[in-house]
Amino acid sequence: MATNPRTAGTSVEPLILERWSPRAFDGSAISDADLDTIFDAARWAPSAFNFQPWRFLYARRDSASWSRFLGLLLPFNQSWAERASVLIFALSDTLIQGPTATEPSPSHSHSFDAGAAWALLALQATRLGYHAHGMTGIDFERTRAELDIPDRFRIEAAIAIGRIADKSILPEALQARELPSDRKKITDVAFEGNFSR
Ligand SMILES: Cc1cc2nc3c(=O)[nH]c(=O)nc-3n(C[C@H](O)[C@H](O)[C@H](O)COP(=O)(O)O)c2cc1C
């Protein structure tokens, strides 16, 4: 049987290891207060010029928009995300306007900044007892049209947030994958000095 490979080799913050992306959610509702706290965490991410290019469109499972949002995911993601508590589309503004600029210009870091916001959102969700699962298995074209997303905003990903359920609710093939994953070694991703292969 597979085991959880997440043991800290350093003094990394335990919350970071607790965050992972399950697919077995219990279909419970999320409170306004919890959702606000999760978006508040995202809001405190750093961004170039503090421009805060992230935007979040969301639908709670008990809302009128839920089935519309769910229908924008690819079928595989729909099959498990239908038991999440909230579905979110994370966007980023591809244009930036500095305090002295008269016109917006292309942003170098809109995705980097939105990624930081997503990471904080996911950690806050974890702290509150939820799990957040990112998805790019989305129908991007239909999402833009259906949710009235202006051209200047990039659709980065969708996010399902929910309370974890027993993996036995999943089809067998997915049960086998329902486990925190491992990572590359630090020395494979962080180089002192020049880039090294
Ligand atoms: C941007 C992004 C897109 C992803 N797309 C999908 C997806 O479409 N479907 C899915 O089941 N998981 C998706 N994932 C989940 C990743 O597979 C998962 O985060 C990765 O395997 C690491 O596992 P962990 O999050 O449990 O640590 C996505 C994650 C991210 C961050």
CA of 24 to the centre of ligand 1 (A): 14
Task: Decide if 153 contacts 140 (C-beta within 8 A).
Answer: no
N residues, the chain: 197
DSSP track, the chain: --------SS---HHHHH----S-B------HHHHHHHHHHHHT---GGG---EEEEEEETTSTTHHHHHTTB-HHHHHHHTT-SEEEEEEEESEE--TT-SS-EE-SSHHHHHHHHHHHHHHHHHHTT-EEEEE--B-HHHHHHHTT--TTEEEEEEEEEE-B--GGGS-HHHHTT-S------HHHH--SSS---
**Residue in the structure block whose two tokens are 């639908």:** 59
* Residues having CB within 6 Å of any atom of ligand 1: 20-21, 77, 133-137, 157, 180-181
CA of 133 to the centre of ligand 1 (A): 6
pLDDT digit of tens for each residue in the chain (197 aa)?
445 678 878 999 999 999 999 999 999 999 999 999 999 999 999 999 999 999 999 999 999 999 999 999 999 999 999 999 999 999 999 999 988 889 999 999 999 999 999 999 999 999 999 999 999 999 999 999 999 999 999 999 999 999 999 999 999 999 999 999 999 999 999 999 999 87
Q: Probe ligand 1: pick from 131, 135, 140, max atoms within 8 Å of CB?
A: 135
CA of 158 to the centre of ligand 1 (A): 10
95: amino acid identity, one letter = L
Residue 183 phi/psi, 5° resolution? -135, 165
117: amino acid identity, one letter = A
Residue 80 alpha carbon, nearest atom of ligand 1: 11
Q: The tokens of 188 are what?
A: 């494979």
Q: At what angle do helices 32-43 and 110-127 cross, to 10 degrees?
A: 140
Task: Specify the pTM.
Answer: 0.96
